[in-house]
Structures are given as structure tokens and as C-alpha cells.
Structure 1
Amino acid sequence: MSERTTGGDAGAHDSRATARRLAALREATLSGDGAEAPRAVIDASWRRVRGCGVDPDHDRRERPLNVAELEHRKATSPLSAVLPVLHEALLPAANAAQQIMVVTDADGLVLWLEGSAPVRRMADRHGFDKGCDWTEPVVGTNAIGTALVARRPVLVHSAEHFVRSHHQWTCAAAPLHDPRDGRLLGTVDVSGPAHGFHPATLALVSAVAKLAEGELRERHHTAVERLRSTAAPVLARIGGRALAVDPDGWVAGAVGLAPPDRVALPKSPEPGPLWLPRHGPCVLEPLPGGWLIRIGGERTPQPRRALLDLTEPGRAALTVSGPAGSWTHGLSPRHAELLFLLATHPEERTAAELARDLFGDGGRAVTVRAELSRLRRHLAGLLAHRPYRFADGIVPELRLPSDPGQLLPHSVAPGVRAARGEGGPSA
């Protein structure tokens, strides 16, 4: 046999040597005999997890989220909007390197996990699956949990993991922040067998995280511009001071005052009077994709008329009339179905009842809740929930096609088909 060492053999030898050195360093540090300290980020993490009582020799398995809670977190996570960016930029490289791509929320809960099937099976044996908690107090030092604490990209290689059973893994994670205010949204991570990890992976993950944050920033700008266009004619009709803001309080337009960048809205704003810092007594009215804030004055009545126009196939729209005039919001086919079902059942509907109306299956309530969460974000204040209905004081009106067969003609929802006279349950 030749005594020459191939590049692959050398790489594997170096990896094994590094793993042995890190394992020896870990054992010495844990026993208090270490003359050499680990990297600063790892040393700080080991100190934290020892203080949390994490067992260095055994996994601590936590029960993952149930399906309903996992789906709710996925549906309401701002990171769902950047999944296509993460898939395109990171998943091919992860697959090629026999790794997996993981996205967590700010609580360290795994929301999405994709990539190499064999590595996914390995991860599952370690309790590394969707819905699992991957924070430091639960699983010890790891790239996801440590990046959440350090608020910066982190690589954790082999025996740098605090728990011994994770030493065959290497992972690189970067935090994802809301570019508007710096709020931590979660992490994106690439993990896999330690022997196959590439040194450039951390740089790649960090770059993709920045790319995803850029996508979030662009989406925010687009949404504010859309709201600005909608709000402009409404603001022009107002005598006095008023602001148009998105659901998070970012200002899209103003009349009668110099606009601030952002207004501090309540966590769950509702139409009607409220008091706001810097502005005092105000009145909140819904706009598509945000709120109209009237500053000062007496309480203004809520909008009373919400007209759902379904007369033209493929052009469903909701027109809301209020004290400041009216505005119209175009509807997707699914949102048109939901509003039609709510308008024809004004007494209120549960998620399970709407699931039967939409899919003929009450077990798909999680899907309905996710869809209604998106709809309520566009139509803030017009819809109430738990159970679902139009908000108090708003009487929905329907404008239907003269031919019942043309009512949302492409819909296969049982509730809509029954309204077209095609049979099937309507309740």
C-alpha cells in the first residue's frame, strides 16, 4: 500500500485530530484541570449551561410542540416570508454537503427542518426535530442556542458541544433580526456530521441570514408603500390631525402634523378611542393593511358598512365605509371564501366549523386559523376571533351575482357549493 496520504485522507485525519483535541480540552475544563481555555464564545456557553444544571453526559429530551401549536407558530412567524430565500440560497449547499437546514423562532423552537434524509434521521434520534426546544438550558452548548444568547453567528464543532452525545455533530447558526427595530426573530442553522463540515459554512450561513433580513426590509417597504397609496385619499378628506400606520405602528402617511417614524400601538389594538404617548386621546379606525389614527376629538363611531362584492368572478373585493370615507381591498380566492362564510353565518363560527365549510373536514382547524390570522392582519379591527365573526357594530353586506352558479365559481368549498345550489353541507 502506498505511504502517500490523499487529500481526503488528510482532511479526515485532521478532523479526527481536532475532535480528539477538543474532547480532551472539554474533559480537562469540566474537571477543573484545564490549563487551556476553549474559545471565548464556547467558554461562556459552557459556564452558562453548567449553571443551568445540564448533564454533560446525557441528552435531556423535551416533549416537542404539538402539531397545532407548531403550525400556529409557523403561520405567525415573520420568518415564513423568507423561507424561499433560505431555500434558494442555503438548501442546495446543505444537501450537497449531506447537511440539514434548520430554522427556529426566537424561543429556540425548531419550526422548519429540511435537507439530507440520512442526516435528518440521525437528527431525529437526538430529538432534533420540528417542534423541539434547542436552547442552551435544554440541550447545552449548540450553535442555535448559543447564537440566540450571543446574538451573533456561532460555529460549534464536535466536542465544543457540552453534551457528549452531540460530539459527532458540527453546526453553524446565525441569528435573524427584524431589520426595522432589531428584534430577534430566530435563527437559521446548518448542521451535520462533524467529519463532513466545511470551514466556509459559517460564512455562508451568516451571508444568507443577511440576505433574508434584506428581504424582510424590502417587504416592509413594499407594504408601507401600498398602505400609503390606500391611505392618501382617506387622509385628504380629514379635517384635523391624523396618521396612517401599519399593524406595527410604522407611519405611512400623515395630515396636520409632522409624521414620526413609528407610533407605539397597543399589543392588540381595537377600533375606537385610545390614548397614545406623545399624541394623547386618539381614535383608531381600520385601514387595509393598517390603521387610521385620528388625533384628538371625541370618539368617532366604528365603520358600519362592510360590503363584500362577489359579482365579478375573480375580482372579489371588500369595501368598508366609515367616518373618513371608504376604502376597497381586493381579496384572494381563499379570503373571499372565508369572508363569504362569515357574512352568511353572522352568529359566529369556530375554526372547526369553518374548516368543515372550507374543506369538509373539521380536523383542518389549524389551517383555518393560519389563514384567518393573515386575513385579520390585512383587515385589522374588522374581524373578531375566538370564535370568528365580524367585529361588533359592523354589519356585513353581500353583493352576489345574479346567477348563483357564478358565486366564486372556482371554489370547491362545501359551504360555497351549497350556496350555489350544488349540494353539500353549509353548516
Structure 2
Amino acid sequence: MTSPWSVRTEVAPATSRLLIERAHEELLAGNAGDPRLADVRPLVRESWRRSLASSAAAEGLPRLDMTADELEAYRRAHPLAPVMEMVRSLLLPGSAEDSGVVVAVGDASGRLLWVEGDRGIRTLTGDMGFVAGADWAEASVGTSAPGTALALDRAVQIRQAEHFNRFVQPWSCTAAPVHDPETRRLLGVIDVTGGSEAVTPQAQLLVDATARAVESELLVGRLRSRAAAPRRAARRPAHSHAALRVLGRDRALLETSGDAAASVVELSARHAEILLMLATHREGLSAEALAALVYGEAAVETLRPEMVRLRKILEKRAPHLVPLSRPYRLPADLETDVQHVVSLLGRGAHRVALAAYPGAVLPESVAPGVEELRASVRAALRETLLAEAGVDVLLAYADTAEGAEDAEVLRLCLAMLPARSPRRAGLVARIEALGA
């Protein structure tokens, strides 16, 4: 069988992949003139060079800089939102949960907005950060079908070792850009990711046809809208954004940004506890309930002067967050890095979630509400990784403070590793030491 994707079409696919892997190694080693690069398709070779020039990570994870709420709001407002049902019907017919592929739709900058399809494959690809909200532009993760299709403004197929990022090399993908049907402005990209079935000629025809069908549907929708009513200019209200960082630190950071400026303030341990409890209980808390979560008893008279001091700080730094009373509650959303990690776990981005978890929630706090939240997040991370994560992510978790002495995690890693893996000896020694 000849290779469908190497310059040297006379070689078998396995040989072709080996040639490309070696060329990739030479390029990353700084040997841009190595003759082995001639074995790589020109489209891929040029993409690798662009990836190097933009400092794309060869083993890193994509950025996820949007909270779950921000992502949902962005998706609702995106021009491709109205055609998602069409994308699903064309690319994920029948039962999407066992379709054998993952379908992703991203915006014009390469950020993935929807990632749907086979549950098992989504779990595996989530470990490399292929999840909604992740930046898959070529400048971020290097050569991949979605990012390279956007960079070239044309449909592309990328197979396994052709990916610039090693985390992505087990997978193959086909992607096609989507344009505004009137202005031809780039709107986004449609991608199918999976095994070899994701890069067949039929897959490319299907993805291309879906992109064209989407553009036609967008045009029809606009014509209908114009016939029904005159267009109205969209108005976007000014807003401020705030985030609370409490993982792995005792003195939380409150980060705020808005139309005027951005700021970061370090909070006292007590103010961090109060603000975290209000962010976690968005429905509000009575004075007694908040005092119990922070102090361990209904010490309302101790809580009230602390609330006065917190309000004074917030009036200067984040006036939109000054708590209301009866019940105590925040007047605006306050995102936390805790919510971010839990959201990543829910999206299947296990490796990214682990990287975003520098440590426990306010580790020195003895506030009952914080202790409960700390235990809940620890358990969610551990149980999700045990149930769904790949061996590489589990090994990374086993190297953290929380996973280092977890015998169940170590045994599962041992069971998942190949029989000849050099890492087995170290795991066996650690398990025996724990038993002793």
C-alpha cells in the first residue's frame, strides 16, 4: 500500500509516518536545512516553519482564557450560532455519542466554540486541550487542520505526525473555513477530528460541502430577516469583569478589568474567605449563614465590621462588586479559578484543568465553607482523572503534592502503562514505599 500523504508516495504509510517524525525532530532541533524535510508535504513544511516563527508550543497546551459564562455569551452572539443544527445534522447524523469522530466549530481567530461528537474521543482529545474555548490558531498550537485552514483560507487535511505539537500527533483532522456569504469575510472554521477516517477524500468532500451549505444557510437567513424587519444596530453595554484567584494561595488575588483600567489587589485571608463564599453562593446568604461559613458559628457581630472593611476596599477597586445585604450577595458575577478548573473538567480538558490547578483552595484557611469547597474540588479533580483521563495526565497528577501518595492513582498508572515502559519501575517503588 502506498502512502497517501508523504511526498514519497512509493513508501508504505508506516514508513511515511516515521520519515515525517524524523523530519519534525530535525526541525525542532534547529536543523531547518536537513534533507529529511523534503519528505514532508510542502503545505505542512511551510506550516511548521510558520509555527516555529510564531513560537508555537511543540508540546504545550492551548490557551483557555474564557470563563464558562463568557464562552456561552460569546457563542450566543457568534454568526455561526444559528447554523449549528445544520452542522450537527450533516456531520454527526444519528447518535453523536458514538459517531467515531469529534466535530469542532471555531471562530476566525482559531478559538474553538463548539466541540461535539463521540464521547470517548472527546475524552481523549480533551487531554490535549481540544475543547470549547481553547485557542487552536496556528500561532498558538502550530500545524493543525483548524488553525492551518484559517491561516491558508482553504480546506486542509493534517495527519498524525504532520501536527507540529506532539500532544496532537495521535490524531488526524480535516477542516474548512467558513466565510460571510456576502462580504467573503472569514467567519470561522469547521473541523472533523479522529482516526484515519477523519482524513479520507470523502471526509474532505463532506467538510467542504458542509461549509458551503452553512454559507448558503446564512445568506437565506439574512434575506428572511431583511424581509421581516429592518436591521437594527447591535448595542453592547459596557461592563466590568472580575476574577478571584484562590487556588494554591492563602491571600487571594482580586483581578478586575473594564473600559477604564485593570487592577490586581491582594486580599487579606478573611476577606478572601468572605468573597469566595459570596462568589460560590450566588443566590445570597443571610448574615448568620455567611458567618457560619466563615467563622464556624453564627458570629454575626464579628462578621459585620469585617464586611464594612471589605466594602471600603471594593468601593475603591471594584465598585460593581460591593456586596448587597439582606441577604449578603454580590451584585455582579465574580468568576473564580475554582470554577474555571471545574468547568475544564466538565469539558473534558483534563490536562488543561490539571495545569490550571496550582494547589488547594486557600490551603491554610480553616473556615468551614472553604474547607468544604477545598475538599469538593480535590475530590472532583481526583475522581474525574481516575475515571476519564489518559495515562500521561494521570502520571502528571501523580507528580503533584495531592497525587504523590495516592496509591490508587499510582496503581492505575501502572496498569495503564505498556509492559516495557521505563516508568513502571519508579511507580512500583513508590507503591511499595507507601505500603511499607
TM-score (norm 2): 0.48
Which is higher, the Rg of structure 1 or of structure 2? 1
TM-score (norm 1): 0.49
Q: Which has the higher helix share?
A: 2
Considering Cα pairs closer than 8 Å and 6+ residues apart, tell me whether 1 or 2 has the greater RCO: 2
